[in-house]
Amino acid sequence: MNNDGIVWEVLNNQFCSFKVKTDLGNLCRHPYNVTGRCNRRDCPLANSKYATVREHGGRIYLCMKTAERAHIPAKQWEKIALPKNFAQAIEVIDKELIYWPGWMINICKQRLTRITQYLIRMRRLKLKNKTTLVPIKKKLERREKSREIRAEAAARLDQSIEKELLERLKSKAYGDQPLNVNESVWKEILEGDAVEAESDVTTEDELEDEEEYEYEEEAAGGSGGRLNREFVADDSDADDSSAGDDDDLEDDMEDFGDMSPSDFSSAEDDSAGESEDAIDEDDEDGSDMDDSDESDSAKKPISKGKRPAAPAARPKPAKRTKKHGPRVEVEYETESAVRDTMLTNW
Amino acid sequence: MAARPVVSVFGLNGAKLDATVPLPSVFTAPIRPDLVQFVHKNMAKNRRQPYAAKQQAGEETSAESWGTGRAVARIPRVGGGGTHRAGQAAFGNMTRGGRMFAPNKVWRKWHIRTNSNQKRYATASAVAASGVSALVSGRGHRISGIEEVPLVVSAEVESLSKTKEAITLLKALKAYADVAKVSNTRSIRAGRGKMRNRRHRQRRGPLVVFAEDKGISRAFRNLPGVELVDVTRLNLLQLAPGGHLGRFVIWTQPAFEALNKVFGSQTEASVQKKGYTLPIPVISNPDVSRLIGSDEIQAVVRPSGPKSMRRPFTQKKNPLRNTQVLVRLNPYAQVLRRAELLGKNKKTKKYTHKKSASAKFLQILKAD
C-alpha cells in the first residue's frame, strides 16, 4: 500500500506539486523538508520515517514522522518543542532521534543551529532603531509647501504677536516699568488707559503705533517662524527670551515629551540657579515666576548670582501646558539620539 | 499487507464513528505509473472531435512553374495578370497562401482502443494510489487536515440534497481546503481557447464516490472542482487526471464496501467485471533499494568491490620486451631466464692475461 519507492518513482518522474526546477538543481517547497532539496533522501513524502526542525513564532520544534501515522495526515507530524537553551535542544534531538539514521540527526542539528542563529539576528535587528525610508512625493511636497506659505501669510503672525504684546503691556503683565519698551509706545498705552477711563479704546491709534515696533517682530519672528527650526542646546536663549520665545520653546518641549529623563542632565542645582536669575529679571518673567518658584521650592538653594554651567533638570516637561509658559532649559546629552527623535517628532 | 487493515468511517459532523470497513483489495493493487500514463493517454484521446484543413486549401489555383531562365525561383507561380496575385508563388507549404505540409485529414484515427485488462489494471492502480497520502498531497491536494486516508463517510451522505449541507460536511472533514484551492485558482485561460468556450481554468478538487445517488450529486455538483461518480463507473480520467496518480477521493461507506464487488481481489473474481481478478504483482515489495539495504540481505552479501573498476587491459605490451607479460604467457620462460642470468654471471669472470708463457709450454715449444 504505502510504499516509499513507488512514491518516489511517481513524484520524481511524473509530477510533484512541491518540486521547483532551478539552475541550481531541483528544490522542494514542502514546508517539512529538512534541507529544501528535492532528492530521494530528503523528500518528506517519499520517506515514511522522517525528521525535521522547524521554527514557528520564535519557538523551535522537532517534527518527526513515522510509518505508523502515514494514513493520518492530520496527526502525521509529532511536534516536540525544543528547549530554548541550545545545548539542551541538541540533547533532546539526540534523545528523540536515537537509533535514527545518523545523517538525519546531523542535518536536524545543523538546521537547529541555523534557525537559532537567524532568530538571534532577528532579535538584534529589532532592537536597532532602523530608520525607514519614506519616499518624497514631489506633488505633495510642492502642494504642502505652497499651502504653508499661504497659511503663514494669512495668519499674519507678526500682527497677532504685536497685538498680543501690546495687550500684555496694557494689562500690565510686565509690570509698571517694563524693559525694552519704546518710550513713546509706553506713553501711548498710559495715555490710552487714561482715555479708557473716559471712553472706549481708540483702536486706530494703537494699530498705527504697533506697526512701528520692530523689535517685537524680530523677537517674535526669529523664534516663532516655522522656517528655521534649529534644535540646539543653548542656555542663553532661554534666559533672554520674551513671552513669544517661551511659547515656541514650549512647543519644542511638547515634542520632547517622549524623551526619557536620562536624556537630560539631572543637575538640580541648575533650576535653583535659574530661579535666582528669574528674580533679578523680575519684570520680564511675571507670571512665570510663580511656576518656577513652585517647582524649585523642593530643590536646594544656590548662592545668588551664580549662573550654573550645567543646564536645568526638568522633571516632567510633557505635563506642562502652554498656559503656564515656564522657562525651561534643555540640554541634549547625545546629539545624534536627540536628532533622531526630533526628526521623527517634528 | 499482511492482515487486512481497517478503515474508519466518519459521520456527517466529521466525527469518527465506531463503524469500520476492512480495506478493499484494490488498495493493495500494484501501483504502475507507467501503465497509468499509457492508458490515460489513450483514453484521453477518445473524447476528441476531428479537425482538418479544408481539402482544397492552397490548391485552388492553376499555378505553373516558370521554369529556368527567368531569374526567379522555380516554385509554381500563379498565372494571369492584372492583380497582385499574379506571379506570386503557390502550392508549396513554404509559400504564402499555399497548402500546408501534410494537410490534416478527418480520417485520422482519433480514438485509441486499449485492452480492457490494461484499462482495468490502470484504474485499480489509480484507486490504490488514492489511498497513499503522500501521493495525494504530492499531486497537490490540500489534505493536511484530513483524519484518515482513504476518507470514508457514512451512508447518510448519499441522502444529502443541499449544497450548504455538503459544505458543512466538507468543512467538518477538513476537506474544504481542497475546494477552496479550486476556487482560488480559477483564472482565465491563456490563448485562443478563451474565445472557444474554454475561458476559465481551475484545479481539480475532491472526487466524491457514491454507491446510490439519493441526492448527493445535487448537493455536491455546484461546488467548484468537486466531481461525483458512481462506484461502478470509476473513470481513470478522474482518478488520475493528466495521467498523474493520487486524486483525493471521498468515498461513501456503501461505495467503499462495493469496491470488493467491483474489482474483486487477487484470488476472488470480480462480480461486476466478469472473471476479472486483480493483478498479481511481479514483486510483492517494490521498494528494491530498501530490500537491498535491509539487514537480512546485507548479512549474506559479499563485500562490494571498488566503486569504479579499473579497466583491465587497455594497452598491449610486447612479451619480447616486457618480462612480466612474457612470464604471463609462458611461465617456463622465467626458469630459462633465471638460468641464463646465472650462467652469465659465471661467464663474466674476469680473464686475467698471463704476462709470460708457462714453463711447460716453453718446454714443449723448444723440444724437437
- pLDDT for A113-124, tens place per residue? 999 999 999 999
Q: In what order do the strands lie in the sheet with A50-56?
A: A50-56, A59-65, A77-81
Compare CB distances from B27 to A1, A17, A18 and report the shortest one's residue: A1
CA distance B144 to A80: 18
> CB-based contacts of B69: which residues, under 8 Å, 6+ apart?
none
Identify which of B58-67, B204-213, B297-306 has the greatest average pLDDT: B204-213
**Residue A43 to chain B, least CA–CA distance (Å):** 10
pLDDT higher at A262 or B21: B21
Helix-then-strand count for chain B, H and E: 13, 8
Compare CB distances from B287 to A4, A14, A71 and report the shortest one's residue: A4
Phi and psi at A200, nearest 5°, equal -75, 165
> CB-based contacts of A284: which residues, under 8 Å, 6+ apart?
A174, A178, A179, A242
Q: What is the mean pLDDT of chain B?
A: 92
Compare CB distances from A74 to B146, B245, B286 and report the shortest one's residue: B146
Compare CB distances from A4 to B33, B138, B290 and report the shortest one's residue: B290
pLDDT confidence band for A4 (50 / 70 / 90): confident
Please report residues of B whose CB lies closer than 8 A to that of A33: none
CA nearest to B33 within chain A: A10
Rounded to an integer, the average pLDDT of A250-258 is: 48
CA nearest to B128 within chain A: A1
Could you read off the pLDDT of B295-312 as tens digits, one per residue?
Answer: 999 999 999 888 898 888
pLDDT recorded at residue B326: 95
Q: Which candidate in A14, A17, A42 is best for mutational testing of the B interface (most B CBs within 10 A)?
A: A14
Burial class (CB in 10 A: 0-12, 13-18, 19+), B29: buried
Q: How far is CA A300 from CA A271, A272, A273, A274, B119, in A?
A: 9, 7, 9, 12, 102
Would you list which residues of chain A are within 8 Å, Cβ to Cβ, of chain B?
A: 1-7, 9-11, 13-18, 45-46, 70-74, 76
Would the CB atoms of A5 and B245 count as touching at under 8 Å?
no
pLDDT recorded at residue A282: 45
CA nearest to B28 within chain A: A1
Task: Using a CB–CB cutoff of 8 Å, tell me whether B287 touches chain A.
Answer: yes
CA distance B79 to A281: 116
Could you read off the pLDDT of A292-306 as tens digits, one per residue?
Answer: 444 444 444 444 555
pLDDT confidence band for A205 (50 / 70 / 90): low
ipTM value for the complex = 0.79
Compare CB distances from A73 to B5, B128, B149 and report the shortest one's residue: B149
**Residue B199 to chain A, least CA–CA distance (Å):** 24
**Residue B146 to chain A, least CA–CA distance (Å):** 5
Would the CB atoms of A14 and B245 count as touching at under 8 Å?
yes
pLDDT confidence band for A29 (50 / 70 / 90): very high
CA angle B109, B111, B115 (to 5 degrees): 120
The reported pTM is 0.64
Please report residues of A whose CB lies closer than 8 A to that of B148: 71-72
Q: In what order do the strands lie in the sheet with B6-10?
A: B16-22, B6-10, B151-153, B249-252, B207-210, B227-230
Please report residues of A whose CB lies closer than 8 A to that of B143: 73
**Residue B335 to chain A, least CA–CA distance (Å):** 57
Would the CB atoms of B128 and A2 count as touching at under 8 Å?
no
Compare CB distances from B148 to A4, A45, A72 and report the shortest one's residue: A72
Would the CB atoms of A1 and B148 count as touching at under 8 Å?
no
Task: Using a CB–CB cutoff of 8 Å, tell me whether B241 touches chain A.
Answer: no
Would the CB atoms of A45 and B285 count as touching at under 8 Å?
no
CA nearest to A77 within chain B: B144
